[in-house]
Amino acid sequence: MELREIEIFAPATIANISCGFDVLGCCLDSIGDTMILRKTSETGVRIGKIIGEELPMDPKKNVASVAVMAMLKALKVEPNYGFEIEIHKNIKPGSGVGSSAASGAGAVFAANELMGKPFSKHELIPFAAEGERAACGAPIADNVAPALLGGFTLVKETDPIKVLELPSINGLYATIIHPQIEIKTSISRDILPQTVNINDAVKQWANVGALIHALHMNDHALFADSLKDYIVEPHRSKLIPKFEQVIKSAINAGALGGGISGSGPSIFTFSKNLETAENVSLTIKDIYKNTNIPYHVYVSKINDQGVKILKQS
Ligand code: ADP
């Protein structure tokens, strides 16, 4: 039976996992958008409806349609039908958990299914990254790769994009707090130093290696000990109220560690099971209750599948 319509879950993701700035990411399970893609008799890509957020309806500006257009361009023969995209947004844009990446990854995954899967999931990554170019000016893959592949991923190369799929620690949960403050991308970029101290660099790549080893060995203690960032976090954390306190209290409540999600303002922490992740959530809420900053706290297991099909017909 030829598919006409598909509904999918497009997951939120954590990028910039501590020492893995710009390279290490992972996929979340209970935070994400729903998207519906349907074939249309007219060719081309259009945005039919967006519910939940004010986002561009212009297909040249919305990440979802930009990503699908990049995919269609790569086909030898374009289909004789088009696509209409409906986005039900739950992930707030600019929160640091890959709002635009979820749309790009979800859209190319869904369109690929409707076309009978001409591309593998790895082949879809550069198209979803083209969507990111529409959101932030560069075809970055550190959110779209975990959104498509699930689990933990490492962007080994950017031109052309090469992504490695990593194993995950068994039973791992994330607790994320999104303080609803705006950090301008230009400020979070400008605050980073242009040069890196060699001693910090040595510590950083030792931790990246150790973190990857911990994932392969399912070693909770080494994973916790490697979640450190000597290069980016000391600068960017100044932009996030109560950052140090959140991480310290989370670790006291049993978390393995944490850091800045994406370019913030969300803060992520990892825990070895759901019970600990929920305790961490209570502790973090207590810290933010004493501020006048609105916030949301999420608990999610690591999603090892990536984008999921909800319905198709
Ligand atoms: P996050 O920081 O949570 O990853 P991004 O900064 O990546 O979010 O994306 C937000 C930017 O992308 C906003 O400027 C938004 O208008 C733009 N954008 C365009 N299309 C979409 C979309 N479908 N979903 C989310 N953001 C989009």
d(CA 99, ligand 1 centre) in Å: 5
SS3 152: strand
173-301 CATH, one of 2.60.40.1930, 2.20.130.10, 3.30.70.890, 3.40.50.10240: 3.30.70.890
The whole-angstrom separation of Cα 78 and Cα 36 is 21
- CB–CB of 207/226 below 8 Å? yes
Write down the pLDDT at residue 313.
97
Residue 186 confidence (pLDDT): 85
Q: Where are the alpha helices (DSSP H) in 116-168?
A: 121-136, 144-149
CATH 3.30.230.10 fits 5-166+303-312, yes or no: yes
For the chain, how far is it from start to end, CA to CA, in angstroms? 9
SS3 content of the chain, % helix, strand, coil (to 5): 35, 25, 35
307 and 125 Cβ atoms separated by less than 8 Å: no
Rounded to whole angstroms, the Cα distance separating 147 from 125 reads 9
User: Among 187, 179, 191, which Cα is nearest to 265's?
Assistant: 179
From the list 242, 97, 241, 249, the residue with the least C-alpha distance to 181 is 241
- 309 forms beta bridges with 8
Ligand 1 atom with the smallest distance to the CA of 135 is 12
Tell me the one-letter amino acid at 117. Answer: K
Centre of ligand 1 from the C-alpha of residue 94, in Å = 6
Residues 56/59/65/68 CA torsion (nearest 10 deg)? -160
The whole-number pLDDT of residue 184 equals 85
Task: Determine the residue of 33, 55, 88, 178 to mutate for testing ligand 1's pocket, defined as the one with the most ligand atoms within 8 A of the Cβ atom.
Answer: 55
Give the residues surrounding ligand 1 with Cβ less than 6 Å away: 55-56, 62-64, 87, 93-100, 103, 135-136, 262
- 31 CA distance to ligand 1 centroid (A)? 15
Tens-level pLDDT at each residue, the chain (313 residues): 899 999 999 999 999 999 999 999 999 999 999 999 999 999 999 999 999 999 999 999 999 999 999 999 999 999 999 999 999 999 999 999 999 999 999 999 999 999 999 999 999 999 999 999 999 999 999 999 999 999 999 999 999 999 999 999 999 999 999 999 999 888 988 999 999 999 999 999 999 999 999 999 999 999 999 999 999 999 999 999 999 999 999 999 999 999 999 999 999 999 999 999 999 999 999 999 989 999 999 999 999 999 999 999 9
Task: Compute the distance from residue 217 Cα to the ligand 1 centre, in Å.
Answer: 35
Which residue among 100, 260, 296 is best mutated to probe the pocket of ligand 1, counting the most ligand atoms within 8 A of its Cβ? 100
Q: Give the separation between CA 207 and CA 222, rounded to whole angstroms.
A: 9
* DSSP β-bridge partners for residue 176: 268, 298
The residues spanned by each domain of the chain are 5-166+303-312, 173-301
CA nearest neighbour of 67 among 128, 12, 119? 128
Q: How far apart are CA 8 and CA 116, in angstroms?
A: 16
- Residues facing 25 on adjacent strands: 15, 153
pTM assigned to the model: 0.97
Q: Are 3 and 110 in contact (CB under 8 A)?
A: no
Whether 143 and 131 have beta carbons less than 8 Å apart is answered as: no
Q: What pLDDT, on the 0 to 100 scale, is given for residue 185?
A: 81
